[in-house]
Copies of this chain bind each other. A is one copy, B any other.
Amino acid sequence: MQPTTHTQHKKLNQQPFYLESGESLPFVQVAYEIYGTLNADKSNAILVTHAFSGDATAAGSYDNNENFGWWDKIIGEGKAIDTKKFCVICTNTLGGCQGTTGPIFINPEIGTHYGMSFPNISIKDMVNVQKAFLEQLGITQLASVIGGSMGGMQALEWGASYPQFVQSVIPIATAMKHSPQQIAFNEVARKAITLDPNWNKGNYYDATKPELGLSIARMIGHITYMSDKSMEYKFSRRQKEGSFEVENYLQYQGDNFVKRFDANSYLYITKAMDYFDISDRLFVNDNLAKIKFLVVAFSSDWLYPAYQSVDIVKKLHQRYVPVTFCKINSSYGHDAFLLETSELTKLIKPFLEAIIGISGEIIADSCSIG
Protein backbone atom coordinates (compact mmCIF):
# COMPACT_ATOMS: atom_id res chain seq x y z
CA MET A 1 0.00 0.00 0.00
CA GLN A 2 1.47 3.30 -1.11
CA PRO A 3 0.59 6.81 0.01
CA THR A 4 -1.72 8.52 -2.50
CA THR A 5 -1.32 12.06 -3.67
CA HIS A 6 -4.80 12.15 -5.17
CA THR A 7 -8.05 10.41 -4.47
CA GLN A 8 -8.04 6.77 -5.56
CA HIS A 9 -10.86 4.27 -5.71
CA LYS A 10 -11.28 0.69 -4.67
CA LYS A 11 -14.22 -1.69 -4.85
CA LEU A 12 -14.97 -3.59 -1.66
CA ASN A 13 -14.67 -7.36 -1.87
CA GLN A 14 -17.92 -7.74 0.06
CA GLN A 15 -20.40 -8.05 -2.78
CA PRO A 16 -23.24 -7.50 -2.16
CA PHE A 17 -22.62 -5.17 0.73
CA TYR A 18 -25.25 -5.58 3.44
CA LEU A 19 -26.64 -2.62 5.35
CA GLU A 20 -28.02 -2.38 8.89
CA SER A 21 -31.54 -2.25 7.45
CA GLY A 22 -31.10 -5.67 5.84
CA GLU A 23 -31.04 -4.12 2.40
CA SER A 24 -27.92 -4.40 0.31
CA LEU A 25 -25.90 -2.72 -2.40
CA PRO A 26 -24.57 -4.89 -5.28
CA PHE A 27 -21.14 -3.39 -4.64
CA VAL A 28 -19.57 -0.46 -2.85
CA GLN A 29 -16.75 1.62 -4.26
CA VAL A 30 -14.64 3.61 -1.82
CA ALA A 31 -12.77 6.82 -2.62
CA TYR A 32 -9.72 7.24 -0.40
CA GLU A 33 -6.47 9.05 0.25
CA ILE A 34 -3.53 7.88 2.33
CA TYR A 35 -0.84 10.08 3.89
CA GLY A 36 2.22 8.51 5.48
CA THR A 37 3.25 4.88 5.30
CA LEU A 38 1.87 1.87 7.07
CA ASN A 39 4.51 0.22 9.25
CA ALA A 40 5.42 -3.43 9.00
CA ASP A 41 2.91 -4.73 11.52
CA LYS A 42 0.22 -2.33 10.33
CA SER A 43 -0.25 -0.80 13.74
CA ASN A 44 0.17 2.89 12.99
CA ALA A 45 -2.97 3.55 10.97
CA ILE A 46 -5.27 6.44 11.86
CA LEU A 47 -8.66 6.83 10.25
CA VAL A 48 -9.79 10.41 9.72
CA THR A 49 -13.55 10.73 9.23
CA HIS A 50 -14.93 13.76 7.43
CA ALA A 51 -17.94 15.94 8.18
CA PHE A 52 -21.14 15.49 6.24
CA SER A 53 -20.17 17.47 3.14
CA GLY A 54 -16.49 16.62 3.24
CA ASP A 55 -14.42 14.28 1.10
CA ALA A 56 -11.39 12.02 1.16
CA THR A 57 -9.00 14.90 0.49
CA ALA A 58 -8.11 15.60 4.10
CA ALA A 59 -4.53 16.77 3.50
CA GLY A 60 -2.07 17.83 0.86
CA SER A 61 -2.05 20.73 -1.57
CA TYR A 62 -3.58 20.79 -5.03
CA ASP A 63 -3.90 23.08 -8.04
CA ASN A 64 -0.42 24.59 -7.64
CA ASN A 65 -0.85 25.14 -3.91
CA GLU A 66 -4.12 27.02 -4.38
CA ASN A 67 -6.22 24.42 -2.61
CA PHE A 68 -5.50 22.28 0.40
CA GLY A 69 -7.08 19.29 2.05
CA TRP A 70 -9.81 20.26 4.51
CA TRP A 71 -7.58 19.35 7.50
CA ASP A 72 -4.17 19.99 5.95
CA LYS A 73 -3.11 22.05 8.96
CA ILE A 74 -3.75 19.03 11.19
CA ILE A 75 -2.35 16.22 9.04
CA GLY A 76 1.23 16.18 7.80
CA GLU A 77 4.88 15.88 8.80
CA GLY A 78 5.33 17.21 12.32
CA LYS A 79 1.69 18.26 12.54
CA ALA A 80 -0.97 17.16 15.06
CA ILE A 81 -1.43 13.91 13.20
CA ASP A 82 2.17 13.38 12.25
CA THR A 83 2.57 11.53 8.98
CA LYS A 84 6.17 10.74 9.92
CA LYS A 85 4.70 8.52 12.61
CA PHE A 86 1.24 7.60 11.45
CA CYS A 87 -0.34 6.31 8.30
CA VAL A 88 -3.43 8.48 7.88
CA ILE A 89 -6.37 7.17 5.89
CA CYS A 90 -9.41 9.18 4.85
CA THR A 91 -12.31 7.75 2.87
CA ASN A 92 -15.30 9.48 1.37
CA THR A 93 -18.42 8.42 3.24
CA LEU A 94 -20.98 5.92 2.01
CA GLY A 95 -23.90 7.84 0.52
CA GLY A 96 -21.60 10.70 -0.45
CA CYS A 97 -20.84 12.09 -3.88
CA GLN A 98 -17.06 12.40 -3.91
CA GLY A 99 -16.20 8.97 -5.22
CA THR A 100 -17.74 6.54 -2.75
CA THR A 101 -20.99 4.81 -3.68
CA GLY A 102 -24.01 7.06 -3.21
CA PRO A 103 -27.29 8.05 -4.90
CA ILE A 104 -25.39 9.57 -7.83
CA PHE A 105 -23.95 6.12 -8.74
CA ILE A 106 -25.39 3.93 -11.46
CA ASN A 107 -27.38 1.09 -9.96
CA PRO A 108 -26.04 -1.85 -12.00
CA GLU A 109 -29.31 -3.70 -11.54
CA ILE A 110 -31.36 -1.06 -13.35
CA GLY A 111 -28.70 0.71 -15.39
CA THR A 112 -29.56 4.20 -14.18
CA HIS A 113 -28.61 6.42 -11.25
CA TYR A 114 -29.85 5.24 -7.86
CA GLY A 115 -31.46 8.57 -6.99
CA MET A 116 -34.11 7.95 -4.36
CA SER A 117 -33.96 4.20 -4.98
CA PHE A 118 -30.74 4.25 -2.96
CA PRO A 119 -31.40 2.38 0.30
CA ASN A 120 -31.51 4.22 3.61
CA ILE A 121 -28.13 4.25 5.29
CA SER A 122 -26.95 4.75 8.85
CA ILE A 123 -23.82 6.07 10.51
CA LYS A 124 -23.00 2.45 11.32
CA ASP A 125 -23.24 1.53 7.63
CA MET A 126 -20.71 4.26 6.91
CA VAL A 127 -18.42 2.80 9.57
CA ASN A 128 -18.93 -0.71 8.21
CA VAL A 129 -17.75 0.45 4.80
CA GLN A 130 -14.68 2.01 6.39
CA LYS A 131 -13.98 -1.20 8.30
CA ALA A 132 -14.35 -3.40 5.22
CA PHE A 133 -12.04 -1.07 3.35
CA LEU A 134 -9.40 -1.13 6.09
CA GLU A 135 -9.56 -4.92 6.35
CA GLN A 136 -9.07 -5.13 2.63
CA LEU A 137 -5.82 -3.20 3.20
CA GLY A 138 -4.88 -5.77 5.84
CA ILE A 139 -5.47 -3.36 8.71
CA THR A 140 -7.14 -4.89 11.76
CA GLN A 141 -6.38 -2.22 14.30
CA LEU A 142 -6.42 1.59 14.30
CA ALA A 143 -4.20 3.70 16.52
CA SER A 144 -7.04 6.20 16.42
CA VAL A 145 -10.19 7.25 14.67
CA ILE A 146 -10.69 10.99 14.65
CA GLY A 147 -13.28 13.31 13.17
CA GLY A 148 -15.44 16.38 13.71
CA SER A 149 -19.21 16.78 13.44
CA MET A 150 -20.56 13.76 11.52
CA GLY A 151 -16.99 12.45 11.54
CA GLY A 152 -17.20 12.50 15.32
CA MET A 153 -20.38 10.42 15.21
CA GLN A 154 -18.53 7.83 13.15
CA ALA A 155 -15.66 7.88 15.65
CA LEU A 156 -18.13 7.18 18.47
CA GLU A 157 -19.73 4.42 16.42
CA TRP A 158 -16.31 2.82 15.94
CA GLY A 159 -15.80 2.84 19.70
CA ALA A 160 -19.20 1.30 20.35
CA SER A 161 -19.32 -1.30 17.59
CA TYR A 162 -15.68 -2.30 17.15
CA PRO A 163 -13.90 -1.61 20.43
CA GLN A 164 -11.21 -4.22 19.65
CA PHE A 165 -10.34 -2.42 16.45
CA VAL A 166 -9.57 1.04 17.90
CA GLN A 167 -6.96 2.05 20.44
CA SER A 168 -8.28 5.57 20.76
CA VAL A 169 -11.22 7.68 19.67
CA ILE A 170 -11.25 11.46 19.16
CA PRO A 171 -14.78 12.82 18.63
CA ILE A 172 -14.75 16.58 18.00
CA ALA A 173 -17.70 19.01 18.05
CA THR A 174 -20.20 16.20 17.90
CA ALA A 175 -23.03 14.48 19.75
CA MET A 176 -24.27 11.03 20.76
CA LYS A 177 -27.56 11.96 19.13
CA HIS A 178 -29.10 14.95 17.41
CA SER A 179 -31.28 17.28 19.44
CA PRO A 180 -34.65 18.31 17.99
CA GLN A 181 -33.07 21.64 17.04
CA GLN A 182 -30.38 19.86 15.00
CA ILE A 183 -33.02 17.67 13.37
CA ALA A 184 -35.14 20.73 12.65
CA PHE A 185 -32.36 22.55 10.80
CA ASN A 186 -31.68 19.46 8.69
CA GLU A 187 -35.38 19.05 7.97
CA VAL A 188 -35.88 22.58 6.63
CA ALA A 189 -32.77 22.14 4.49
CA ARG A 190 -34.23 18.93 3.08
CA LYS A 191 -37.56 20.69 2.48
CA ALA A 192 -35.77 23.39 0.49
CA ILE A 193 -34.17 20.75 -1.75
CA THR A 194 -37.38 18.85 -2.40
CA LEU A 195 -39.28 22.10 -3.02
CA ASP A 196 -37.05 22.80 -6.02
CA PRO A 197 -39.03 21.55 -9.04
CA ASN A 198 -35.73 20.46 -10.60
CA TRP A 199 -35.30 17.95 -7.79
CA ASN A 200 -38.00 15.95 -9.56
CA LYS A 201 -38.22 13.25 -6.87
CA GLY A 202 -34.50 12.71 -7.16
CA ASN A 203 -34.39 12.11 -10.91
CA TYR A 204 -32.30 15.00 -12.14
CA TYR A 205 -28.96 13.47 -13.09
CA ASP A 206 -29.56 13.78 -16.81
CA ALA A 207 -31.36 17.12 -16.52
CA THR A 208 -31.13 20.46 -14.71
CA LYS A 209 -30.08 19.92 -11.12
CA PRO A 210 -31.99 21.34 -8.11
CA GLU A 211 -29.35 24.00 -7.63
CA LEU A 212 -31.56 26.62 -6.01
CA GLY A 213 -32.95 24.24 -3.41
CA LEU A 214 -29.55 22.76 -2.60
CA SER A 215 -28.09 26.25 -2.41
CA ILE A 216 -30.70 27.29 0.19
CA ALA A 217 -30.00 24.12 2.17
CA ARG A 218 -26.32 25.05 2.24
CA MET A 219 -27.09 28.63 3.22
CA ILE A 220 -29.09 27.40 6.21
CA GLY A 221 -26.18 25.14 7.07
CA HIS A 222 -23.65 27.96 6.90
CA ILE A 223 -25.61 30.09 9.34
CA THR A 224 -25.46 27.24 11.84
CA TYR A 225 -21.74 26.66 11.26
CA MET A 226 -20.82 30.21 12.27
CA SER A 227 -21.41 31.98 15.56
CA ASP A 228 -23.34 35.21 16.02
CA LYS A 229 -20.02 36.79 17.01
CA SER A 230 -18.00 35.47 14.07
CA MET A 231 -20.69 36.71 11.66
CA GLU A 232 -20.60 40.13 13.30
CA TYR A 233 -16.83 40.19 13.02
CA LYS A 234 -16.81 39.01 9.40
CA PHE A 235 -19.73 41.00 7.97
CA SER A 236 -21.31 43.34 10.52
CA ARG A 237 -23.97 45.24 8.56
CA ARG A 238 -21.74 46.20 5.64
CA GLN A 239 -23.50 46.38 2.31
CA LYS A 240 -22.27 45.87 -1.22
CA GLU A 241 -24.21 46.37 -4.42
CA GLY A 242 -27.51 46.77 -2.63
CA SER A 243 -27.20 43.67 -0.46
CA PHE A 244 -25.81 42.95 2.94
CA GLU A 245 -22.40 41.29 2.68
CA VAL A 246 -23.67 38.37 4.73
CA GLU A 247 -26.31 37.76 2.05
CA ASN A 248 -23.70 37.81 -0.71
CA TYR A 249 -21.47 35.47 1.28
CA LEU A 250 -24.24 32.94 1.82
CA GLN A 251 -25.19 33.11 -1.85
CA TYR A 252 -21.56 32.55 -2.82
CA GLN A 253 -21.30 29.57 -0.48
CA GLY A 254 -24.54 28.16 -1.84
CA ASP A 255 -23.48 28.63 -5.47
CA ASN A 256 -20.13 26.95 -4.86
CA PHE A 257 -21.66 24.06 -2.98
CA VAL A 258 -23.98 23.01 -5.78
CA LYS A 259 -20.96 22.58 -8.07
CA ARG A 260 -19.51 19.89 -5.86
CA PHE A 261 -22.35 18.29 -3.93
CA ASP A 262 -25.26 16.07 -4.84
CA ALA A 263 -28.71 17.01 -3.53
CA ASN A 264 -29.76 13.40 -2.96
CA SER A 265 -26.60 12.78 -0.93
CA TYR A 266 -27.68 15.74 1.21
CA LEU A 267 -31.00 14.04 1.89
CA TYR A 268 -29.55 10.60 2.69
CA ILE A 269 -26.64 11.72 4.82
CA THR A 270 -28.57 14.20 6.95
CA LYS A 271 -31.18 11.50 7.61
CA ALA A 272 -28.42 9.15 8.75
CA MET A 273 -27.20 11.84 11.14
CA ASP A 274 -30.68 12.58 12.49
CA TYR A 275 -31.43 8.91 13.21
CA PHE A 276 -28.02 8.28 14.78
CA ASP A 277 -28.44 7.66 18.52
CA ILE A 278 -25.63 5.94 20.30
CA SER A 279 -26.54 7.09 23.79
CA ASP A 280 -27.90 3.70 24.91
CA ARG A 281 -25.18 1.53 23.42
CA LEU A 282 -22.02 3.58 23.51
CA PHE A 283 -20.33 2.02 26.49
CA VAL A 284 -22.13 -1.16 27.32
CA ASN A 285 -19.13 -3.24 26.26
CA ASP A 286 -16.45 -3.46 28.92
CA ASN A 287 -13.81 -3.87 26.26
CA LEU A 288 -14.20 -0.19 25.77
CA ALA A 289 -12.23 0.38 28.92
CA LYS A 290 -9.13 -0.22 26.81
CA ILE A 291 -9.92 2.68 24.53
CA LYS A 292 -8.59 6.13 25.31
CA PHE A 293 -10.92 9.02 24.52
CA LEU A 294 -10.18 12.63 23.72
CA VAL A 295 -13.42 14.61 23.50
CA VAL A 296 -13.27 18.17 22.18
CA ALA A 297 -15.94 20.90 22.04
CA PHE A 298 -15.87 24.61 21.22
CA SER A 299 -17.32 27.36 23.37
CA SER A 300 -19.24 29.18 20.60
CA ASP A 301 -20.46 26.08 18.74
CA TRP A 302 -24.23 26.37 19.06
CA LEU A 303 -25.00 23.71 16.43
CA TYR A 304 -23.20 21.02 18.45
CA PRO A 305 -23.17 22.75 21.83
CA ALA A 306 -20.48 21.81 24.34
CA TYR A 307 -23.09 20.23 26.64
CA GLN A 308 -23.46 17.44 24.08
CA SER A 309 -19.75 16.66 24.42
CA VAL A 310 -20.10 16.82 28.21
CA ASP A 311 -22.87 14.22 27.89
CA ILE A 312 -20.39 11.94 26.10
CA VAL A 313 -17.85 12.48 28.87
CA LYS A 314 -20.46 11.66 31.53
CA LYS A 315 -21.29 8.38 29.77
CA LEU A 316 -17.59 7.53 29.66
CA HIS A 317 -17.20 8.26 33.35
CA GLN A 318 -20.11 5.98 34.12
CA ARG A 319 -18.18 3.17 32.43
CA TYR A 320 -14.82 4.09 34.01
CA VAL A 321 -13.41 4.76 30.56
CA PRO A 322 -10.39 7.08 30.50
CA VAL A 323 -11.24 10.36 28.85
CA THR A 324 -9.59 13.70 28.27
CA PHE A 325 -12.09 16.47 27.67
CA CYS A 326 -11.43 19.99 26.51
CA LYS A 327 -13.75 22.84 25.61
CA ILE A 328 -11.69 25.17 23.47
CA ASN A 329 -12.49 28.87 23.70
CA SER A 330 -13.28 30.00 20.19
CA SER A 331 -15.53 32.51 18.46
CA TYR A 332 -15.78 30.48 15.25
CA GLY A 333 -18.87 28.45 16.14
CA HIS A 334 -19.10 24.94 14.70
CA ASP A 335 -16.55 25.84 12.01
CA ALA A 336 -13.97 25.89 14.83
CA PHE A 337 -13.22 22.20 14.27
CA LEU A 338 -11.82 23.20 10.87
CA LEU A 339 -10.29 26.52 11.94
CA GLU A 340 -8.89 26.20 15.47
CA THR A 341 -6.06 24.02 14.21
CA SER A 342 -3.45 25.49 16.53
CA GLU A 343 -5.46 24.74 19.66
CA LEU A 344 -6.46 21.33 18.32
CA THR A 345 -2.83 20.51 17.66
CA LYS A 346 -1.96 21.18 21.32
CA LEU A 347 -4.48 18.53 22.31
CA ILE A 348 -4.25 15.95 19.57
CA LYS A 349 -0.49 15.73 19.10
CA PRO A 350 0.45 14.73 22.68
CA PHE A 351 -2.63 12.53 22.97
CA LEU A 352 -1.63 10.52 19.91
CA GLU A 353 2.01 10.37 21.02
CA ALA A 354 0.86 8.90 24.34
CA ILE A 355 -1.11 6.29 22.42
CA ILE A 356 2.05 5.25 20.63
CA GLY A 357 3.75 4.97 23.97
CA ILE A 358 0.96 2.85 25.38
CA SER A 359 0.89 0.55 22.39
CA GLY A 360 4.68 0.14 22.50
CA GLU A 361 4.87 0.23 18.74
CA ILE A 362 8.05 1.39 17.07
CA ILE A 363 7.09 3.72 14.28
CA ALA A 364 8.98 3.44 11.02
CA ASP A 365 11.14 6.44 10.16
CA SER A 366 10.44 6.06 6.50
CA CYS A 367 6.93 7.51 6.61
CA SER A 368 6.30 10.41 4.28
CA ILE A 369 3.30 12.50 3.42
CA GLY A 370 1.47 11.30 0.37
Identify the A interface with B (CB < 8 A). 177-181, 183-185, 187-188, 191-192, 195-197, 212-213, 215-216, 219-220, 222-223, 226, 228, 231-232, 234-237, 244-247, 250, 274, 277, 302, 305
Contacts and interface: CB of A to CB of B under 8 A. Distances in A.
Given A195-B213, A195-B216, A228 B184 contact: no
Contacts of A246: 180-181, 183-184, 187
A184 B223 contact: yes
6 contacts: A180-B237, A183-B237, A188-B250, A191-B219, A197-B197, A228-B302
Given A180-B244, A180-B246, A232-B179, A185 B277 contact: no
A177 B180 CA distance: 29
| Integer count of this chain's copies in the complex | 2
A177 B236 CA distance: 11
Given A187-B250, A250-B187, A223 B181 contact: yes
A184 B184 CA distance: 17
B195 A212 contact: yes
A236 B184 CA distance: 11
Given A187-B247, A247-B187, A305-B228, A192 B180 contact: no
A354 B181 CA distance: 41
A188 B232 contact: no
A216 B244 contact: no
Given A180-B237, A181-B246, A188-B250, 6 more contacts: A180-B232, A180-B244, A180-B246, A183-B247, A184-B246, A195-B195
A181 B232 CA distance: 8
Given A188-B250, A195-B216, A274-B244, A180 B305 contact: no
A171 B232 CA distance: 23
A213 B213 CA distance: 10
A192 B216 contact: yes
Nearest to A218: B188
B195 A236 contact: no
A95 B216 CA distance: 25
A295 B225 CA distance: 31
A302 B224 CA distance: 12
A73 to B, nearest CB: 26
A196 B197 CA distance: 8
Nearest to A246: B180
A27 B184 CA distance: 42
A216 B193 CA distance: 11
Contacts of A232: 179-181
B244 A183 contact: yes
Contacts of A184: 219, 222-223, 231, 246-247, 250
Contacts of A244: 180, 183, 187, 274
